[in-house]
Structure 1
Amino acid sequence: MSIMQLKNKVVVITGSSSGIGQNTAIAFAKEGSKLVVNYKTNKNGAEETLRQIKKTGSQGLIFQGDVSDENTVKRLFKKTLEVFKKVDILINNAGWPTPGYLEETNKNHWLANFNDNFFTTVLCSKEAVTIMKKQGGGKIINTASIMGIDYGGREGVIAYSAAKAAVINFTKTLAKQVAPTILVNAVAPGRTQTPYYDQFDKKTIKYFIDANPIGRMINPEEITEAFLFIAKNDALVGSVVTVDGGYMLKFGKSFK
């Protein structure tokens, strides 16, 4: 059967205290899944995610911790197994862009971007693969970005773009290694209306909107639909599902 039902599936979502991660956690809860909500610093956001999960009638738990730390990741999955006994789906969503043109960056800047946006994915995937192999299957879905696709990288977030490109290559390589037992895919969002964009002025936001053929920013719920689609489909392996409002069709503009 190519359509997987999500009821009673245990879903671990890193970085699920706001934005795409929060919306995705709530959406899976509405499908009847059991959720593990991970956050690094946004406790209030994580608690709101859990409240919304419980409103659907589903179960959930909160795990605080920086998933770029190997020991923290081990504790996350240990806690998940203690409470829910299995891990059916891992969504690697933790991450945050730190902007900077190359000449403005240093090694620490690059390490921070890769720790937040790439090694979080690697470390969590490693633990999940070990568990999923023992239990006979599972799915991993990584949050990539249009910034990591071909010519999608932007000059002002060069380290972040490189980290997301690494996520995409990692997704495809791991998918080949662990299929058919474990199915690994990714979602590449475009400019999505999340708290990250609160920092930009109206002129910059207008640039983002004008670059999208749909004429607006993407809603987090629209990205969530891609995660649900991948989670339910058993024929996707090593795919990167792009949800960008047509941004890549108009790519080519630069700005500072």
Structure 2
Amino acid sequence: MQFNLNGKTALVTGASGGIGQSIAIDLAANGAKVAVNYLSNQEGAEETVRMIKDQGGEAIMVQADVTDLDQIEVLAAEVQDKLGTVDILVNNAGHLVERRKIEDMTIDLWRKIIDVNVTSAAFMSKAVIPGMKEKGSGIIINLSSVAAHDGGGPGAVPYATTKGAIITFTKGLAKELAPFGIRVNALSPGFVDQTKFHATFNTEEGRKATVAKIPLGRGGVPQDISGAVLFLTSPYASYITGETIEINGGMFMK
């Protein structure tokens, strides 16, 4: 199914690989001009932009640390200048950072995890909301996780906490922005294979054990998430706001 995003500008944070890369590519394939944000993986961001251009799309890459409020403002201004007002913001940037039990937690690590997963989404949204209000429309999509519901794996309490916060943030922001024609929703992926995240924080034995418990019998792929993004940016989702869509093959059902 094709969705017409011609004339729309999309900004995807953390789009140098994995889920973010897939989201950026699919948005561009359906007509959006895409800003590919990255922190340190310049090669991955270049690959994302190259893949978009190879399929005839338009994209730029913009380096910024989205936990830094000054850099967020610079990022938003650059996208505005080069591609126009942001119509679609996907707050994909996020990280478990490190597995550590609460009894061994430091305030610096706690704050780092909060900032990369929650502060980034809040202040990235803040930066693009004025432009969306001026246009009378806009779409913000936040990335949560199944960890928000089950507390996450070992040493992941801070990460799970932030992903729960994203669901609440999504609901509150949706109410705040609905009068201005701006819809805000969240996606909550379960186990997604083919990503650096799981390659870093899970063993092969753990991966197989997780997949064995998934009713649909497979791990997810980044395209499972980017497909949901396309749906939420389409007219088919025009009456959906404040919701969290679970994408996990049945491993968690509400």
- Output the TM-score relative to the length of structure 2: 0.93
Indicate the residue corresponding to 2:93 in structure 1: 94
Indicate the residue corresponding to 1:241 in structure 2: 245
Which string of whole-angstrom CA distances, capped at 9 and with x for unpartnered residues, describes residues 198-228 of structure 1? 2332211112212211222101111111111
Indicate the residue corresponding to 2:73 in structure 1: 74
CA distance in 2, matches of 1:221, 1:112: 28
Letter in 1 for 2:208: K
Once the two structures are TM-superposed, the CA of residue 129 in structure 1 deviates from its matched residue by 1.1
CA distance in 2, matches of 1:7, 1:85: 13
CA distance in 2, matches of 1:105, 1:45: 31
Counting only pairs closer than 5 Å after superposition, residues 145-164 of structure 1 correspond to structure 2 as: 145-149=145-149, 151-164=150-163
CA RMSD of aligned residues (A): 1.6
Indicate the residue corresponding to 1:205 in structure 2: 207
CA distance in 1, matches of 2:174, 2:39: 27
Once the two structures are TM-superposed, the CA of residue 155 in structure 1 deviates from its matched residue by 4.5
Distance 1:60 1:123, change over 3 A: same
Task: Work out whether residues 3 and 230 of structure 2, in 8 Å CA contact, stay in contact via their aligned partners in 1.
Answer: no
Counting only pairs closer than 5 Å after superposition, residues 85-234 of structure 1 correspond to structure 2 as: 85-98=84-97, 99-149=99-149, 151-180=150-179, 181-193=181-193, 194-199=195-200, 200-232=202-234, 233-234=237-238
Percent of matched pairs sharing the same residue: 35
Letter in 1 for 2:73: K
Secondary structure of 1:248's partner?
coil
CA distance in 1, matches of 2:33, 2:223: 19
Letter in 1 for 2:72: V
Indicate the residue corresponding to 1:51 in structure 2: 50
CA distance in 2, matches of 1:207, 1:102: 25
- Output the TM-score relative to the length of structure 1: 0.92
Q: Which runs of 5+ in 1 are unaligned?
A: 252-256
CA distance in 2, matches of 1:229, 1:5: 11
Q: Which runs of 5+ in 2 are unaligned?
A: none
Which string of whole-angstrom CA distances, capped at 9 and with x for unpartnered residues, describes residues 148-191 of structure 1? 13x45445310000011111100000000110421000100011
